[in-house]
Structure 1
Amino acid sequence: MSGRRPYGADTGGSPRPGSSQPRARRARQVADVLRQQITGGAFDSGTLPDERALGAQFHASRNAVREALGILRDEGLIARRRGVGTTVLMPKYGHGLDRLAGLAETLTGYGPLTNEVRAAHRVAEPPAAVAERLSLAPGTGAVYIERVRRMGGLPLSLDATYLAADIGVPLLDLDLAGRDLFALIEETTGGRLGRAEVAVHAVTAGPDVAGLLDVPVGAAVFAIDRLTHLADGRPVDAESLHIRADRLTLHATLHRGAPHPG
């Protein structure tokens, strides 16, 4: 039997110069690790090591490193300028998906988060799909709130939510520009929120979303659908969020349970 390693086999470490892996694959591998470091805040100075140092770190050729940096530049994570080097364009904030928390709660410590309230009013007849999600009785209506959220002065997300009328109406007179809806709901109801179902989609920004988030039309954004329940299980908050993918990283800590039988 030949002692040659099968094409693409795991070598047990970083790709080495002269390996059988195509340069494009090695560039992608380098880009994947650098992306994790950037989103994890590894480069406090905002500047990445030069190509030679990165090549030594990843055991990759300079051409592979250059291609990896090109990938990250095209993703909008870094900028490359002669005489300056490779710099992180803007910080990415982390938002966990394993805890029910508002954006302001999650981003505490990163700086002021501001809200531009674009709409806050009662809706006599919410869309049928919304009424079904919130289990609204006919004629009870709802409240619609839409806000553009900014961190460091730059748009971060567009949040649109329908609330059951008895939950949403008391919020209309409160500080929607400075507070998270979750905190306001708990204060006005005197109880705790219980759980939420969350679905995350990768979509491209249409003209309206792109204009509000200050990104090009067609830019990648996260679209998050979230249905939040009170502690007793009643659904009260149906949200649709569009979040700039270049400014936020979604993360979660997952625990493996017992295997399913079969």
Structure 2
Amino acid sequence: MSSQRQGSPERRLRADRARQAADVIRQQVVGRAYPGGVLPDERFLAAEFSVSRNSIREALDLLREEGLIDRVPGVGTVVVTEKYAHGLNQLMGLAETLHEHGDVTNDVRALGVIKAPSSVAARLGSPDVVYVERLRRLNGLPLSLDLTYLALDVGEPLLGLDLENRDIFSLIEQTSGRSLGAASVTLEAVNADAHSAAVLEVPRGSALMVVERLSHFACGRPVDLEFIRMRGDRLTMRAELRRS
């Protein structure tokens, strides 16, 4: 039997088929494609994906384990957890990104001028920085834990301003009279440590996305370095990429 035949769709394991279906169904759930948050029945989904009902049951079990859906007697399989798309192709604060979903507020956990760690000082070109630590909520739900380092001359004017209800980006532009231009972003997945889990109100070991973002003024000067822990069960990252 040829290697091509061995890898053909007809001979794949049921677990592989279930995972394939789960990925597409997850995207549909996040995109709010199911009216009223109720998924089609197993027979319809099995026909949609050309798999057995057992494969669909396994796919739904995967999404149930993620906390995304659940089975409700007399109703069917329903969406029980909303996920929110966070765009990566625009330089925007969380409140700007999620404004249509409700109110973003911030618990300011730390704020003040500190001596920058050497790597932070090198990236911001500032030996002293303003450090801001915020727990960010959407309609009261904890979404992310943001650790922000600001170049001193940029961060000091923010001290005493409304950091509980405003994005730092908009405050930087307001106080400096200058526009932010671009940012470099690194994204990786980690498991929540005990402290992060407690702050974000998730079980220890839960999936978190850690975003490192260095933002610049339009002139190219770096001014804002952030390390953001985002809940993987509530946020999904989205971007549009072009091949040039």
Match of 2:122 among 128, 132, 139: 132
Q: Secondary structure at the match of 2:18?
A: helix
Whether 1:8 aligns to 2:7 is yes
Per-residue CA distance 1:212-251 (angstroms, 9 max, x = gap):
1100111000000001111111111110000001111101
- Give the counterpart letter for 1:7 in structure 2: Q
State how far apart, in whole Å, the 2-side matches of 1:44 and 1:165 are. 49
State how far apart, in whole Å, the 2-side matches of 1:26 and 1:8 are. 13
- Give the counterpart letter for 1:133 in structure 2: R
State how far apart, in whole Å, the 2-side matches of 1:82 and 1:108 are. 34
Unaligned runs of 5+ in 2: none
Q: Identity rate of aligned residues, in percent?
A: 54
Q: Secondary structure at the match of 1:69?
A: helix
Whether 1:110 aligns to 2:97 is no
State how far apart, in whole Å, the 2-side matches of 1:52 and 1:152 are. 37
The alpha-carbon deviation at position 82 of structure 1 amounts to 3.5
The alpha-carbon deviation at position 183 of structure 1 amounts to 0.4
Whether 1:22 aligns to 2:13 is yes
Aligned position for 1:164 = 151
State how far apart, in whole Å, the 2-side matches of 1:211 and 1:130 are. 27
Aligned position for 2:57 = 66
- Give the counterpart letter for 2:21 in structure 1: V
User: Considering only CA atoms, is the larger Rg found in Structure 1 or Structure 2?
Assistant: 1
Aligned position for 2:82 = 91
Aligned position for 2:202 = 215
* 1:236-247 equivalences in 2 (<5 Å): 236-247=223-234
* 1:42-57 equivalences in 2 (<5 Å): 42-57=33-48
Q: Secondary structure at the match of 2:100?
A: coil
The alpha-carbon deviation at position 192 of structure 1 amounts to 0.3
Flag the structure with higher helix content.
Answer: 2
State how far apart, in whole Å, the 2-side matches of 1:70 and 1:111 are. 30
- Give the counterpart letter for 2:171 in structure 1: L
The alpha-carbon deviation at position 67 of structure 1 amounts to 0.3
State how far apart, in whole Å, the 2-side matches of 1:43 and 1:118 are. 38
Per-residue CA distance 1:149-173 (angstroms, 9 max, x = gap):
1112211111110101111111012
The alpha-carbon deviation at position 8 of structure 1 amounts to 2.6
State how far apart, in whole Å, the 2-side matches of 1:82 and 1:255 are. 45
Aligned residue pair count:
244
Per-residue CA distance 1:102-157 (angstroms, 9 max, x = gap):
1111112111111111111111x121121111111x4xx11111111111221111
Q: Secondary structure at the match of 1:226?
A: strand
Per-residue CA distance 1:173-213 (angstroms, 9 max, x = gap):
21101111000000111010011110001000001110111
State how far apart, in whole Å, the 2-side matches of 1:9 and 1:66 are. 22
- Give the counterpart letter for 2:95 in structure 1: A
State how far apart, in whole Å, the 2-side matches of 1:223 and 1:80 are. 31
State how far apart, in whole Å, the 1-side matches of 2:57 and 2:156 are. 55
Aligned position for 2:142 = 155
- Give the counterpart letter for 1:6 in structure 2: R
State how far apart, in whole Å, the 1-side matches of 2:28 and 2:22 are. 10
Find runs of 4+ consecutive structure 1 residues off by over 6 angstroms. Answer: none
* 1:28-43 equivalences in 2 (<5 Å): 28-43=19-34
- Give the counterpart letter for 1:42 in structure 2: A
- Give the counterpart letter for 2:217 in structure 1: L
Q: Secondary structure at the match of 2:237?
A: strand
Aligned position for 1:198 = 185
- Give the counterpart letter for 2:22 in structure 1: A
TM-score, normalised to structure 2, is: 0.95
State how far apart, in whole Å, the 2-side matches of 1:243 and 1:44 are. 27
Unaligned runs of 5+ in 1: 11-18, 258-262
Aligned position for 1:260 = none
- Give the counterpart letter for 2:197 in structure 1: A
Aligned position for 1:16 = none
TM-score, normalised to structure 1, is: 0.88
